[in-house]
Structure 1
Amino acid sequence: MRLIYIHGINNEGKNAKVIEEAWSGALKAAWGAGAVDWSKIEVRTAYYGDTLATATDSWDGNSDAVSPMGPASPDEDIAPDELFALYKDVQKRFEISDDKVLEEIALTEGVNRDVVVTTMAKGPHKKWLKAIVRVIEKNFPGAGQKLANKFLKQAGAYLAKPGLFDEINTMVKGQVFDPFKDLSRTVVVTHSLGTIVGYVLLRKMRLEEKLPLFVTLGSPLGIGTVQKRIQGPFLKPTVATHWLNGSDPEDFVALRSELTAATFGSAEIENVSKLDNGYENAHSITQYLSHQEIAGPILKALK
């Protein structure tokens, strides 16, 4: 039996062992003692957290002052189109009006709203993007611990920074999928940004023996900008027998709680969209794995 883990955002400073212990620990607790012989399970854990964080913080290899969204980056700079589209998708999902964003900028700068309207006329300034994050943090506390800022910056880099998308996907492929020619009795569990990585890699595979279960938790696959980057067709990977998607309605990263024909495509997906991960961190992977609706199918697929 084999378990493959692919993590998402906010994992810099960790390593594969730390992630594996946390994820497996959550499953062990959910299953109870004696449910499975762990000595017979091969666990492979991807790790790209430091690569993603470094690439995000040093976009284009330059200083913060000239990087797309560095903390010292001038607000008046024009944001890259792909990055702006991602932030606008999030703004739309949370029904944040343009007026609300303008009010936030005016409040932060201590100026009249009309002044902001005039300065914004030249294009998608970074100050607009930063204001979206501030509005979310103020009005949607369930996002928790500045998750909005972390997700938008790291997802933006992964999707839009030249070469990073392919670099991370290739890295993960080498870590957890090569050189397997047979994925039977294998369960692939992915979280957050890792659901995109896992989906992209599995969709390319053409293996005779299929894996019984592909799990996506707290997934941003329902975001239009993500879909534009990975491109269609949006089908269940042919190498996967079953696709289980879990989400907490309060999870900021899972902007679309369910992956359906309306939000993703015609892929056959079982959605479990009313999980409750608690108020403190609705995006928590250990909380996701503690639910029987998620842990149960994983256990069944391994037997």
Structure 2
Amino acid sequence: MLVHGIGQEDRDQAELETAMVGALAEGLAAAGHPQLTTTARLAYYADLFSRPGGQGGEITTGTPEQEELFERLLLDLLRQAAERGPEPADRRQAERALRQADGEHAGAQGPRALIRPLLNAITRVSTFGRHGFSVAERYVRMPLWQVTQYFTDERIRTAVRERVAGLIGPDTRVVIAHSLGTVVAYEALHQLGRPLPLLITLGSPLGLRTVIYERLRPQPARVPPGLARWVNILDPDDLIAARPDLARLFPGAAGVVEPHVLVDNGPEPHAAGAYLRQAATGRPVGQVLRQL
């Protein structure tokens, strides 16, 4: 089963499923399993999110809690760019933006006052344009607002999690999740109540301590019960993906959480298709399917 990430609200479910399943087939072939056939389904949930209010999708109607979290997400992206951005110019740009934000924060009247400057700062960091999204309209506003809604709107969180959990049947052998989908899959697997041979997380923010990790359920964070193997794959240039060792953050039986695997997704470091086409993704999937 495949679980998509943020920024898919404008894509048709069938189209997205076809694209992701096709990319996974390429990953299986790259790993030396071209003859393997598998029945894969996509857990689609983008339609469950509401759009932000305001002209052009500007965030203007959030609760104080949502606005604060949205601001923290924007700040965290800039910190990631300053620390890990692949381009020196982008790192310097992000550092300047963070210093400016610190200065403006002192006189700002609430989080909403900083959202516009932070959005503008991110659009000036070219690294974010390599993540497969239009920076100003899609990558910053709508997708990150979906993260905010997931963690602050209980109705949305429950509906998204239940939709994903409802597709994990007794014959499901592998769950592959991308981006925010890794958060949803993690929480859904805690409700599964039966064994699962393999979880693959792609470009996962699960280890982001400032905005994601402490908000996961259940707490304290741990390996979902019944999970036999967890493979985490990331591109070093993917600024959404957390770099910490997940085995340290998610305790469980020895050896379940494997050391993270680094890949090169080229010009789209966070794109789901690029991750799925990697041999590093197809290899563990093929190993599980060969056991059937």
- In structure 1, the residue matched to 2:4 is 7
Q: Note the C-alpha offset of 1:134.
A: 2.8
For residue 212 of structure 1, the aligned residue among 187, 197, 201 is 197
Tell me the SS of whatever aligns to 2:175. strand
> TM-score normalized by structure 1?
0.75
Q: Take 1:221 and 1:242, find their aligned partners in 2: how far apart are those partners?
A: 16
For residue 19 of structure 1, the aligned residue among 16, 21, 27 is 16
List runs of 5+ in structure 2 lacking aligned partners.
83-93
Residue correspondence of structure 1 range 117-128 to structure 2 within 5 A: 119-120=107-108, 122-124=109-111, 126-128=112-114
- In structure 2, the residue matched to 1:110 is none
Q: Note the C-alpha offset of 1:73.
A: 2.8
- In structure 2, the residue matched to 1:276 is 264
Aligned in 2, Cα 1:78/1:14: closer, same or farther, shift over 3 Å? closer
Q: Note the C-alpha offset of 1:140.
A: 4.5
Give the letter aligned to residue 194 of structure 1: G
Aligned in 2, Cα 1:78/1:205: closer, same or farther, shift over 3 Å? closer
Q: Take 1:216 and 1:132, find their aligned partners in 2: how far apart are those partners?
A: 28
For residue 123 of structure 2, the aligned residue among 132, 137, 158 is 137
Q: Does the CA-based 8 Å contact 2:174-2:199 persist in structure 1?
A: yes
Q: Note the C-alpha offset of 1:251.
A: 1.2
% same residue? 24
CA deviation string 1:177-196 (max 9, x = no partner): 2xx3x34x611111111111
Q: Does the CA-based 8 Å contact 2:196-2:226 persist in structure 1?
A: yes
Q: Take 1:45 and 1:7, find their aligned partners in 2: how far apart are those partners?
A: 7
Residue correspondence of structure 1 range 29-40 to structure 2 within 5 A: 29-32=26-29, 35-38=34-37
Q: Take 2:273 and 2:106, find their aligned partners in 1: how far apart are those partners?
A: 46
Give the letter aligned to residue 169 of structure 1: R
For residue 276 of structure 2, the aligned residue among 249, 274, 289 is 289
Q: Does the CA-based 8 Å contact 1:173-1:201 persist in structure 2?
A: yes
| Structure with bigger gyration radius | 1
Tell me the SS of whatever aligns to 2:228. coil
CA deviation string 1:38-79 (max 9, x = no partner): 2xx332211111222xx1x14xxxx427xxx941739xx996
CA deviation string 1:153-204 (max 9, x = no partner): 2211222234211121122223x12xx3x34x61111111111111000022
For residue 156 of structure 2, the aligned residue among 151, 161, 164 is 164
Asked if residue 186 in structure 1 is aligned to residue 176 in structure 2, the reply is no
Give the letter aligned to residue 35 of structure 2: V
Give the letter aligned to residue 186 of structure 1: R
- In structure 1, the residue matched to 2:43 is 46
Q: Take 1:237 and 1:118, find their aligned partners in 2: how far apart are those partners?
A: 41
Q: Does the CA-based 8 Å contact 2:2-2:175 persist in structure 1?
A: yes
Q: Take 1:292 and 1:34, find their aligned partners in 2: how far apart are those partners?
A: 10
Size of the aligned set, in residue pairs, is: 265
List runs of 5+ in structure 1 lacking aligned partners.
106-112
> TM-score normalized by structure 2?
0.77
Q: Note the C-alpha offset of 1:235.
A: 1.7
Tell me the SS of whatever aligns to 2:246. coil
- In structure 1, the residue matched to 2:68 is 81
Q: Does the CA-based 8 Å contact 2:78-2:98 persist in structure 1?
A: no
Q: Take 1:257 and 1:134, find their aligned partners in 2: how far apart are those partners?
A: 26
Q: Take 1:212 and 1:72, find their aligned partners in 2: how far apart are those partners?
A: 41
